[in-house]
Structure 1
C-alpha cells in the first residue's frame, strides 16, 4: 500500500523498488480512494473488465470480466452490486470490450469481444439487450493467421466510415486490425492492417478513441503509445508517456490496462492507465498531447480489501445508479486479502465511484453523466465540473 501524499519514489521504496531520479520534479503524489463495491470470485487468473450500459435503464448495466486460466477460462458477468449473474466458458479470453449498435440481420445488437488464447481466435458473443447476459452468435469465433499467438485486444468504430474494427496483439508487439461485419446472418472478419507497435516490447492493454480516431497501446516495460486507428494509416507511433522517470516519465513497469472516460466534446475526457508495478492509476487528458494530470491508489474500506497488481480496467462516464451517478471505474484486483491476512484463491474486481476520483484529484476533472455510447459525440460546449 502507498500512503497518502507520499511521492511515487517513496512508494517504490516501500515496495522494495528503486528509481534513478524523482518523478517529474518534486514528485507525483498519489491520492487515496476507497472502492464502493467488489465482485464475488472471478476466476483463478482474472484480467480485464468491460462495462455494458443498458440502453433503457442504466441501473441494469453489467460488468463483464475475463478469466484466463485453462481450468476456469471464460467470461463472468456481474451486476452493479457485484453479484454474479453468469459464467460463460471460453478459451482463456483476455481483454474484453463492448461493441454497441452493431448491424446484424437487419437489427442493431451489442457484442462482447475478446482475444481467446486457447485457440488464437477473436471470440464474440451477443449481449442480451434486456438482461446483459451473453449469448452465442453465429461466427462468434474467428481465426487469426497461422503462427500468430493472440494476447490482448480492443475495439474501434470509425467515425469516418462507420465501420467496426477489432485490434488484436501478440506478446511480440505485433498488431492485427480486423474489420468486423455480418453476412448471411453470420459474423465475419477481414484482416485490413498488420503492424509492429512500440519499441518491440511486450504489449497487451489498448483502447481506441472512436471520436478522434486514435489507438492507445501499453508497452509494459516502456510506456503508452498513440497511433492512428484508421486501417490505411501509416503505423507511426507517438510516445505519450514513459517509464523513464529520470526524464519526466510518470510510469513504472508494468504498464497494463487502459480505458477512456468520454467527455462532452472530442477534447474532453481522460485516459486512465493501470501502473501495475506500484499498484496505482494514472490520469491523462484525452486531448492531445495527453498531459499527465494525477495518480491515485485504491485502499481498504467499505469492507473491501486494498487493490494490488491491477491488470485490466474499464471506465464509463455515464451515470448508472445512486452509487455511481457520474461514472464508474472497474479494476482487476490480483487477489482478495481477508482480515486475517490470508488470500483468496480467486481474483475479484473492484468498483470505484468516479466522483471520488474527481474529488481527490488536484485537477478540476469534468464529469459527463449523460454520455451515451450508442450516440455520436455532439461536441457540446457546456460542462459539469466536480
Structure 2
C-alpha cells in the first residue's frame, strides 16, 4: 500500500458529509485562459505511445484544450462554449484511422465534434451536429455498442432531458447525429457515463439521485434508481461521473460530490457506497467543487502505471481553474482497504 500518497488512509472531517480518505494529486495542467467559472470536464485520449497521450479539457467559455501528460498545453481548439467532453476510438471514416471526441455545444446548440489523428496527435474541430428541441446543451457522453454503432447522449440542462443520437459519417466532411431516443430525469442533469461492457448508462440528476438505464436505443425510457443525493455520502450537486472498471462487468461508479468537495464511489453491482475521498494539498494544491472528472484505467507511463483519475479543480493555487491528475493506484488501494 502506498501510504505516503494516501496519508496512511487518515480521515478528513467533512463539514456536511461522512468522513473521507485523503489522497493527493501527482500532476496538474496549466489553467484554462478564461477567468471565473471556466474549466469544466476532462477525458483522456490514449496515443499509440502512451507517453504521448492527451488530457482533453473543456473551457466552457472558449473551447477545448489538449494537454500533455505533464500538464503543458499541446493545443487549444477555439470551439465556443463547450461543456462536457467524451471520446471513443477508430471512428468509421474512409482513409486513415481517426478517433472522435464530442462535447456539448452551448454556442451552436448541439454536439461539437472533434477528430484526433493518432499519428500527429492533432485535434481538429468538425461542424457541430445540431440537436432539435434542446435549449441548453449541458452534459455529453458516448456509448460504443456491441453492434459497432456509436451513440452520443446529450443532456438539456432543464428539465433534465436526455437525447440519444446515432453518429455516422455521411461523406463530404459531414458527421450526422440521428435522434433515436429521448427521456428525462425531471430536473437539472449534467454528468453521464456509459459502460460499454454492460450496455448501461449512468446519469447524475444534480440535486436528486443517480440513475441508470440501458444504453441501447431500444431500452425504453424508464430510469432505474441507483443512489440518492443524500447530503451525507453524496452532497449536492452530484456532478461528473465515471467508471473504475474491475473485470468484465464489475467495478465502481465514481461521482463528484461538489457540495463538499469530495468524490464518492458506489459498487456497480449493488449501488452501495464504497468509499469517500478528498484530493488534498500535497506537492500540489488539492481540489475543490469539482465539475467534471474521468477515469482512464490503463497504463500511462511510469507515473501512472495502472491509469489515472483526472478532475476539474474549481480554484487552483494561482486562482484560476485547471485539471488535476491522480494516480489510480491510490484510489484502488483505498477501495481495497475499505473492502477489508
- Show the counterpart of 2:182: 194
Separation in structure 2 between the aligned mates of residue 150 and residue 136 of structure 1, nearest angstrom: 18
Aligned counterpart in structure 1 of residue 271 of structure 2, from 286, 290, 293: 290
Q: Who is 1:232 aligned against?
A: 218
Note the residue ranges of structure 1 that are not aligned, 5 or more in a row: 14-22, 339-343, 366-386
Instruction: Quote the offset at 1:244 in angstroms.
Output: 2.8
Query: CA–CA distance in 2 between the matches of 1:82 and 1:230?
Result: 36
Which protein has the larger Cα radius of gyration, Structure 1 or Structure 2?
1
How large is the Cα RMSD of the aligned pairs?
1.8
Pairs aligned (count): 326
Q: CA offset at residue 106 of structure 1?
A: 5.0
Q: Indicate the residue corresponding to 1:95 in structure 2.
A: 84
**Large movers: runs of 4+ above 6 Å:** none
Partner of 2:321: 347
Cα contact 2:97–2:117 (8 A) shared by 1: no
Residue of structure 1 equivalent to 2:313: 333
Distance in 1 separating the partners of 2:108 and 2:125: 17
Residues 5 and 156 (structure 1 numbering): CA distance in 2 closer, same or farther, change over 3 Å? same
2:125 counterpart (111, 136, 139):
136
TM-score computed with the length of structure 1 as normaliser: 0.80
Instruction: State the secondary structure of the residue aligned to 1:12.
Output: coil
Q: Paired residue for 1:64?
A: 56
Listed one character per residue, the Cα deviations across residues 14-71 of structure 1 (whole Å, up to 9, x for unaligned) are xxxxxxxxx7xxxx431001100100112431100010011x21111110000112xx
1:279 is matched with which residue: 243, 251, 261?
Answer: 261
Describe how 1:214-253 pairs up with structure 2 within 5 A. Answer: 214-244=200-230, 250-253=233-236
Paired with 1:242 and 1:250, the residues of 2 have a C-alpha distance of 9
1:46 to 2:39 alignment? yes
Whether the 8 Å CA contact 1:299–1:306 is kept in 2: the answer is yes
Query: For 2:315 and 2:326, how far apart are their aligned partners in 1?
Result: 17
Alpha-carbon contact 1:93-1:116 (below 8 Å) kept: yes
For 2:242, what is the secondary structure of its paired residue?
Answer: strand
Higher strand share: 2
2:107 aligns with 118
Q: What TM-score, normalized to structure 2?
A: 0.91
The aligned counterpart of 2:300 is: 320
